[in-house]
Structure 1
Amino acid sequence: MTSLADLPLRDDLRGREPYGAPQLDVPYALNTNENPYPPSPALVAALGKAVEDVAASLNRYPDRDATLLRADLADFLNADTPGAGRTGRDVWAANGSNEILQQILQAFGGPGRTALGFEPSYSMHPIITEVSGTAWVDAHRDEDFGLDPAAAVAAIERHEPGIVFLTSPNNPTGTALDLATIEAVLDAAPGMVVVDEAYAEFRRGGTPSALNLLPGRPRLIVTRTMSKAFAMAGTRLGYLAADPAVIDALMLVRLPYHLSAVTQAVARTALAHRAELLGTVDALRSERDALVAWLRGLGLTVADSDANFVLFGSFSDRRAVWEGLLERGVLIREVGPPGWLRVSVGTPEEMAAFRTALKEVL
């Protein structure tokens, strides 16, 4: 049989493994940070009607620029930062936040350019960076998974990256950044600064969004997703807010008609029903905070979390703990620094199953 070794694959792709968290049929899947609450029957009906409405015109290409969807997203973001007055020209959308990141790297990265991040962080940042032909630099986080502004500035001055990735709340640690740290990075960075806010809706009260820093900063990009708090992971809709000039740059690299008519219709329907979809966020925050306290009560070390997951450890053999949980029907993620594990926050039933299984394993 033909193998990759027999194909004229790019040299820099040889030896790589495809990205992917385990997809296993288990009673309790707590490894991919999804919102565990499915849409209500009423929302399912509304989503079905939205798809039905566009089905008759699927012989035609969709709106290439997703104009109506971007206007709806701008309205949603304006509620996060009142008075911003954003319009669809300040927002861009694509198939998940990963395609957003890919387009950013296609436009502002490439051969001879460097992207810098602070790991441990989202594992797709270096993967998409390197696949785009951009060099990746890991500048590292502090031992408590925070980010010291002076150290971040020093790393930027040393490497002069074309793109800096900040993640707030950070995945897999759940750590959020204050605006002063982001501003310090913005002042030092010679190129674009991307603040990945995939988990922004879960942040604790008083934790500001980088959206507040956008006015007058054309090199700042804030990315979001509908896969997490919106409980729309299957829709594959990511988006960003930035200066309109950034959107003009991304249009140079986007594929034609990249967002299907079905995706646009489903995403707009979800935004129209955001009160229901985001209505579970407070419950998930409470579950998260209770989980952090419970894990610490077991004597484990737990990272402070502003997301819908918790990183905990440390274990001399985390693989054994992961496997022990899996044997009991609970799938979590073996990710992050050596010795640490990450569990997504689920329903009360799922959290009870996790607690029971972990106590048995320990």
Structure 2
Amino acid sequence: MTLSDRMSRFLRADVQGMHGYAVQPSAGFVKVDTMENPFRLPAPLRQALGERLAEVALNRYPAERGDVLRAELAKHARMPEGCDIMLGNGSDELISLLTLAADVPGNVVMAPLPGFVMYEMSAKLQGLRFVGVPLTPDFELDGPAMLAAVREHQPALLYIAYPNNPTANLWDDDVIDAIIEAAPGLVVIDEAYQPFAARDSLDRLRRHEHVVLMRTMSKFGLAGVRIGYMMGRQPLIAEIDKLRPPFNVSVLNCEAALFALEHVDEYAKQAATIRAEREKLHGEIAKLPGVRAFPSEANMILARVPDAKRVFEGMRARGVLIKNVSGLHPLLANCIRITIGTPEENPQTLAALRGALEELTS
């Protein structure tokens, strides 16, 4: 039997039909395609972190330092009384574990679309039905459609990204609250971009026992460290935590995260700079002819251009790597997503966008 025959016989057909997650080569580019914090730590802090990591016992499995990190993150996030916190290897792992916990025949996973691709992918890989509810053409929650879908499908998991990816906006609070009230299962509020947003959902976590709040340290400034965390009522977190692989957060990642929380002022300063740069860049993009820049409460800007493919290619030819999201959903036709870079990078991004747009009309 050939390897191809073995794969056809023993591997899932739906997996064989999938496309893997593509990462664009970025060496030599202004990299504004993946919503990372563009800032490194100052040199003295990098040296201090290196010295600290050098003392970590790499010969031992992770142990109580994970509990220390959980406690420090709970304080940092102002976790409400009666709640507990769970760590994941990025938010992706937490989404997978939530889906695994909800894998009951007939259960449905629901989210607005366009949204974060892992909600749907995780549901389908686990064999659960996914129901996506389209946003409005302006990328707002369609309240009546969402409530009707909740009544019809009774979702076990309902994801609300706040702000949303890739649209970058916060949704109407009254609509979100109505959806939470109507939801029969768990409502997972994904606040991956909370450091850049004007509002959060901590009060919703306090008021509703079926709300779970998910955050990440990736946008905080530690995308390479892969720390996601999730807060919810203690009995609920205890059940989901049973599915967490042992030692899922490495000792190096844990220590780097603890170091970051000891220097939270530096990361807060970086976030403030990103927010200020976002407003400047958004204002300039909005002035460009034929471009619509949508409101942003994240570290990215979604913009509709005359031809997303050609603009992407034109900016890439000018040394700037963005994300062409136009193929992710019909509502995103001719949309590009630009991550906020450093004050030095953002003028280069704007110049590349201008050049690519001018090329369309030449």
Q: Same fold (TM over 0.5)?
A: yes
Residues 296, 21 of structure 1: CA spacing in aligned structure 2 closer, same or farther, 3 A cutoff? same
Q: Does 1:209 align with 2:196?
A: no
Deviations 1:96-137 (A, max 9, x none): 011111111111235532100101111121112211222111
1:21 matched residue in structure 2:
23
Number of residue equivalences:
349
> How far is the alpha carbon of 1:22 from its aligned partner?
1.4
2:212 partner amino acid: I
1:49 corresponding residue in structure 2: 51
3-state SS in 2 of match to 1:146: coil
What displacement does 1:64 show? Answer: 6.9
Q: How does 1:40-119 map to 2 (within 5 A)?
A: 40-55=42-57, 58-63=58-63, 66-78=66-78, 85-86=80-81, 90-109=84-103, 111-119=105-113
Note if contact 1:115-1:129 (Cα within 8 Å) is conserved in structure 2.
Answer: yes
User: Is residue 2:315 matched to residue 1:325?
Assistant: yes
Q: 2:235 aligns with which of 231, 245, 267?
A: 245
- Distance (whole Å) between structure 1 residues aligned to residue 319 and residue 245 of structure 2: 41
Q: Which residue matches 2:353?
A: 358
Runs (5+) with no aligned partner, structure 1? 79-83
Determine the structure 1 residue equivalent to 2:337: 342
1:264 aligns with 2:254: yes
The corresponding residue for 1:81 is none
CA 1:250–1:36: 2 relative to 1, 3 Å: same
Residue in structure 2 matched with residue 146 of structure 1 by the alignment: 140
Give me the whole-angstrom Cα distance separating, in 1, the residues matched to 2:304 and 2:310.
13
Q: Report the alpha carbon displacement of residue 62 of structure 1 after superposing the two structures with TM.
A: 1.3
Distance across 1 between alignment mates of 2:109 and 2:8: 31
Shift of residue 195, structure 1, vs aligned partner: 0.7
1:35 partnered with 2:37? yes
Aligned AA (1:154): A
| Alpha-carbon distance between aligned partners in 2 of 1:119 and 1:21, rounded to the nearest angstrom | 22
- AA aligned to 2:349 is F
Partner AA of 1:354 in structure 2: T
The CA distance in 2 between the partners of 1:156 and 1:292, in whole Å, is 35
Structure 2 distance, partners of 1:329, 1:179, is: 39
Given the alignment of the two structures, is residue 168 of structure 1 paired with residue 158 of structure 2, yes or no?
Answer: no
What is aligned with 1:284? 274
Contact 1:109-1:162 at 8 Å conserved across structures: no
The counterpart of 2:171, out of the listed 153, 168, 177, is 177
Q: Deviations over 1:6-58 (max 9, x none)?
A: 46211221210012331332320110010111011222123223322322xx3
Name the CA distance, whole Å, in 2 between partners of 1:283 and 1:65.
31
Aligned residue identity for 2:340: V
Residues 39-84 of structure 1, C-alpha deviation per residue, up to 9 Å, x if partnerless?
A: 11222123223322322xx333212792111100011011xxxxx6
Please state if 1:157 is matched with 2:146.
no
Aligned partner letter, 1:360? G
Q: Deviations over 1:259-278 (max 9, x none)?
A: 12222111111111111122
Query: Contact 1:21/1:31 (CA < 8 Å) preserved in 2?
Result: no
Deviations 1:230-272 (A, max 9, x none): 2111101011111111211112211112112222111111111
- SS of aligned partner of 1:66: helix
Among the aligned pairs, what percent are the same residue? 33
Instruction: Confirm or deny that 1:132 pairs with 2:126.
Output: yes
SS of 1:198's equivalent in the other structure is coil
Correspondence list, 1:180-195, <5 A: 180-195=174-189
* Aligned-pair Cα RMSD in Å: 1.9
Unaligned stretches of 5+ in structure 2? 327-331, 358-362
Q: TM-score, normalised by structure 2?
A: 0.91
Q: Is the 8 A contact 1:46 1:269 kept in 2?
A: no
CA contact (8 A) 1:21 1:32 kept: no
1:64/1:256 contact within 8 Å kept:
no
